[in-house]
Amino acid sequence: MTETAITRWAVLIEYDGTDFVGWQRQKDGVSVQTLVEAAASRIASGHPVSSITAGRTDSGVHAAGLVVHLDFPAHTNFRSHQVRDGLSFHLKPHRVVVLDAAPVSLDWSARFSATWRRYRYTIINRPSRPALMEGRAWHVKRPISIELMQEGANRMLGTHDFSSFRASACQANSPIRTLDELSIRRDGEYVLIETQARSFLHHQVRNMVGSLMMVGTKQWTPDRITQALEARDRRAAGQTAPSEGLCFLAVGYPDNPFLKKH
């Protein structure tokens, strides 16, 4: 579709990533992108609808507030609730739900207009394996010191070369990223790690969590985080934390389209 032949909508979605190969369409397996575009095509009377997302979550990763923009044919005339409810209806029985929808201009992009992205990683810290939280948290049996974890996390705040914390398949042009927040807190049996930045490298959050777990369980000292950063070598950092503990929480824009909808 040409620019003059489309109308653009921003949608806010949540999903349980357990059964998906991630956001992005893959040769094998079910992706969230495939489901969302198919649902959008259904409410657009069968016309193809393309999408751009603020973040490409990996297989098994969840989302509580991922923003996507959809390009519908220009002749479609929807109201916000029709896009929200129509998409959610056609996404059944999959655990993907549209929370909100708003019309946006053609120069607005879910990806490029974003100024920050926020993730939460959940660890369940107890001897017994999880039942209710299976598939939604990383089970770590060893006692965790959140004070030590936070001391290690503080070493990563600010602007650094995160080569040691990105996947070998990462396609980003530069390993330089700026972490605005990396906070650790405990809520009963749960250790919650939240981080925010303009953008992240592939597997960066999960690799940071894997290293911080080593610090929190006293297998590493916080100084080891500094050493890993300085090494600029993936082998210097800890394991990649399991995908099921990660959730894409939110994405920010200078003008939140969902506050301006009509």
State the catalytic residues.
Answer: 58
Are the beta carbons of 130 and 168 closer than 8 angstroms? no
Locus of tokens 């602007």: 159
Locus of tokens 């929370």: 99
Are the beta carbons of 121 and 200 closer than 8 angstroms? no
Q: Which residues pair with 163 in a beta bridge?
A: none
- What are phi and psi for residue 255, nearest 5 degrees? -125, 105
Determine whether the annotation assigns residue 253 to a binding site.
Answer: no
**Considering only CA atoms, which of 188, 192, 179, 210 is closest in space to residue 247?**
192
- H helices of the chain, in order, are 32-43, 80-91, 146-154, 204-216, 223-231
249 vs 180: CA distance, rounded Å: 15
| CA distance readout (Å), 163 to 66, 153, 228, 248, 255 | 26, 16, 9, 22, 32
240 DSSP assignment: P
**Considering only CA atoms, which of 99, 63, 98, 116 is closest in space to residue 248?**
63
Which residues define the annotated binding site for substrate? Answer: 119
Annotated binding-site residues read 119
